[in-house]
Amino acid sequence: MKTVKIIVVALLAVVLGTNSYAQMMDHSKMDMSKNKADSKMAMATTKSETIKVWGNCESCQTRIEKAAKVNGVTKASWDSETKMLAVVYDPSKITSDDIQKKIAAVGHDTEKYKADDKAYSKLPGCCKYDRAAAKK
Ligand SMILES: [Cu+2]
């Protein structure tokens, strides 16, 4: 019976000890999340967006991403399956419209801008996406 009591006391001590340790951890966590919020504010200069861009294949992907990676754009990644371009950019340097104009200039329709006809006609055969389907 005595050993049981000792075990219970020991367990209690462990539980209580862990508790106060957990509280200590909570405080440090709070501090950490505060720091995180601060750094988030500093990061608020970039904007993430997904833009529909019509195209077909991997060379479309290369062309679209290259056109989208202008000054102020930190990330441009196009998916040939979903036809969605994920961009991360600095809104103080460039707008979503500007990025889409750049893409339209190399021959790809975007959700807001129709591709330049000449640029489209110069695209390789595999890249000639269905324009009728692109623009409703
Ligand atoms: Cu292509």
Q: What digits encode the pLDDT tens for the residues 14-29?
A: 555 555 544 555 554 4
Give per-residue pLDDT as tens, 73-129: 999 999 999 999 999 999 999 999 999 999 999 999 999 999 999 999 999 999 999
Tell whether 35 and 72 lie within a shared domain: no
**What is the domain count for the chain?**
2
Indicate yes or no: pTM above 0.75: no
Least Cα distance to 105 among 78, 58, 70 occurs for 70
What separation in Å is there between the alpha carbon of 131 and the centre of ligand 1? 13
What separation in Å is there between the alpha carbon of 129 and the centre of ligand 1? 8
CA 43 vs CA 37, 56, 95, 103: distances in Å = 10, 34, 17, 26
Tell whether 4 and 25 lie within a shared domain: yes
Tell whether 15 and 1 lie within a shared domain: yes
* Measured torsion, CA atoms of residues 20, 25, 27, 33, in degrees rounded to the nearest 10: -160
Tell whether 55 and 36 lie within a shared domain: no
Q: Which CATH number belongs to the domain containing residue 56 in this structure? A: 3.30.70.100
Tell whether 24 and 71 lie within a shared domain: no
What separation in Å is there between the alpha carbon of 60 and the centre of ligand 1? 4
Tell whether 34 and 70 lie within a shared domain: no
Tell whether 15 and 73 lie within a shared domain: no
What separation in Å is there between the alpha carbon of 5 and the centre of ligand 1? 76
Structural domain that includes position 109: 47-134
Tell whether 55 and 14 lie within a shared domain: no
What separation in Å is there between the alpha carbon of 116 and the centre of ligand 1? 16
